[in-house]
Amino acid sequence: MLSHLALTCVSLLVTFAAVRWFIRDSYKLDGFSQKHVFITGCDSGFGNLLAKQLDRKGFKVIAACLSEKGAADLAAAASPRLKTLLLNVTDSAGIRSAVDFVSREVGERGLWGLVNNAGRAIPIGPTEWMQLEDFIKVLDVNLVGLIDVTLQFLPLLKKAQGRVVNVASILGRLSLIGGGYCPSKYGVESFSDSLRKTMHCFGLKVSIIEPGFFKTTITSPDLIGDDLRRLWTRLPQDIRDSYGATYVEDYVRMQTFSLGMLCSSDIAQVTRCMEHALTARYPRKRYAAGWDAKLIWIPLSYLPSFVADFVVSMLLPVPEVGRKP
Ligand SMILES: NC(=O)c1ccc[n+]([C@@H]2O[C@H](COP(=O)([O-])OP(=O)(O)OC[C@H]3O[C@@H](n4cnc5c(N)ncnc54)[C@H](OP(=O)(O)O)[C@@H]3O)[C@@H](O)[C@H]2O)c1
């Protein structure tokens, strides 16, 4: 009888907490037409879609693209309100020029939103196939570039008591692949957590987006496969022998199959999270984007490491030396 009463009380409390959370989560701000948002990596993928989505909502979007073609295509697809500029996030002087441009645009209002979205993945593959510069190439864009952009834009964001939205990944919680990508995304998680804590008292809010797997250029099996073959051909013969002659093609085949199974084409699932982080009265600290992130990867990241290791071993081939006779 007593345990029945306790169970009912707990269920009511949980239901109340969930309803309260949903209501709080749905509160939205207004006055978007007076708010500026700066997004990096808008040539393609999430950044490109977000720029158009926020533009349609009335935001003053400043979209940074890596290439002139990317910028021209985006400008042609958006309203005249949307401004584009060229930015390579590994170029500190370029970031300074972008800050100057944005300060002139925002004036005394400051910058409402910074979305650190630019990123690259390759080279990815077995860690032993990598050289130091392979790690640096990726870390420079995904982590050092993101930190540089954030630090340089911080005064403008502080002025507006704005939002920073950093794109990490479920690979910032689970190291499913070798190369600089996972370390860079773990770094984004950590940098964002410390930024959130230190800027909280100034009214600045920081959100982390953790997408699962989505079909964009970064997950293109052809690009990843070609790069894996490049890494393989530069390996010394004794290392190749330890993996076995067919290993690289087995790896490419299994990776292509896994990406085909896992990658969702509905990239709006990610941009909806980004939009929520910029428009909600109470933005979340973390957004898991995609069914695979919510149901597989994030839960897996809380389980003991041997479980995650087992899952990875199912997704990739075993080198010749590790195969049972
Ligand atoms: N797709 C996924 O499954 C997935 C999952 C988790 C996290 N993410 C993250 O989501 C973000 C966006 O990726 P996406 O999936 O939309 O792939 P994407 O289409 O390749 O977008 C990445 C963008 O970043 C740009 N970029 C690359 N290097 C840059 C640099 N040095 N400076 C400035 N811009 C640069 C790319 O330009 P170019 O196209 O000209 O190279 C591209 O526009 C990335 O941070 C990625 O790590 C993606």
The region of weakest confidence among 11-20, 92-101, 126-135, 296-305 is 11-20
The domain in which residue 104 lies consists of 31-214+265-315
d(C-alpha 218, C-alpha 271), whole Å: 16
Q: Residues 198-217: what's their mean pLDDT?
A: 97
Q: Is the residue at 282 inside a domain?
A: yes
* Per-residue confidence (pLDDT) for residue 7, from 0 to 100: 84
Q: Is the residue at 72 inside a domain?
A: yes
d(C-alpha 97, C-alpha 103), whole Å: 10
* Per-residue confidence (pLDDT) for residue 315, from 0 to 100: 84
What average pLDDT is seen over the chain? 94
Ligand 1, CB within 6 Å, residue ranges: 40-41, 43-47, 66-67, 70, 87-90, 117-120, 141, 167, 169, 211, 213-214, 216-219
**Partner residues linked to 61 by β-bridges:** 37
Residues 178-193 pLDDT 10s: 999 999 999 999 999 9
Q: Which atom of ligand 1 is nearest to the CA of 67?
A: 40
What does the H/E/C string look like for 38-96?
EECCCCCHHHHHHHHHHHHHCCEEEEEECCHHHHHHHHHHCCCCCEEEECCCCCHHHHH
The region of weakest confidence among 23-27, 77-81, 312-316 is 312-316
Name the residue at shortest CA distance from atom 33 of ligand 1: 88
Q: Is the residue at 181 inside a domain?
A: yes
| Percentage of the chain exceeding pLDDT 90 | 83
Give Cα 172 to chain centroid, integer Å: 9
Residue 196's pLDDT band (cuts 50, 70, 90): very high
Q: How far is the CA of 218 from the centre of ligand 1 (A)?
A: 6
Residue 234's pLDDT band (cuts 50, 70, 90): very high
Residues 307-324 pLDDT 10s: 989 988 888 888 877 665
Q: How far is the CA of 167 from the centre of ligand 1 (A)?
A: 9
Name the residue at shortest CA distance from atom 44 of ligand 1: 119
* DSSP state letters, 174-210: ---S-BSHHHHHHHHHHHHHHHHHHHGGGT-EEEEEE
Q: How far is the CA of 2 from the centre of ligand 1 (A)?
A: 56
d(C-alpha 160, C-alpha 105), whole Å: 13
Q: Residues 197-216: what's their mean pLDDT?
A: 97
Q: Which atom of ligand 1 is nearest to the CA of 70?
A: 40
Q: Is the residue at 243 inside a domain?
A: no
Q: Is the residue at 67 inside a domain?
A: yes
User: Domain tally for the chain?
Assistant: 1
Helix (H, G, I), strand (E, B) or coil at 289: strand
Q: Is the residue at 159 inside a domain?
A: yes
The domain that contains 136 carries what CATH number? 3.40.50.720
Residue 149's pLDDT band (cuts 50, 70, 90): very high
Q: Is the dihedral of CA 204, 207, 208, 211 positive or negative?
A: negative
Name the residue at shortest CA distance from atom 16 of ligand 1: 45
Name the residue at shortest CA distance from atom 19 of ligand 1: 45
What pTM did the predictor assign? Answer: 0.95
Measured from the Cβ of residue 223, the count of other Cβ atoms closer than 10 Å reads: 13
Q: Is the residue at 239 inside a domain?
A: no
- Order of strands, sheet of 205-211, starting from the edge strand that comes earlier in the sequence: 83-86, 60-65, 36-39, 113-116, 163-167, 205-211, 286-289
Give Cα 259 to chain centroid, integer Å: 17
Q: Is the residue at 308 inside a domain?
A: yes
| Residue recorded with tokens 């860690």 | 127
Active site (catalytic) residues: 181
The region of weakest confidence among 27-31, 115-119, 182-186, 321-325 is 321-325
* Per-residue confidence (pLDDT) for residue 1, from 0 to 100: 63
Q: Residues 117-145: what's their mean pLDDT?
A: 97
Q: What are phi and psi of 31, to 5 degrees?
A: 70, 35
Cα R_g (the chain), whole angstroms: 22
* Per-residue confidence (pLDDT) for residue 323, from 0 to 100: 64
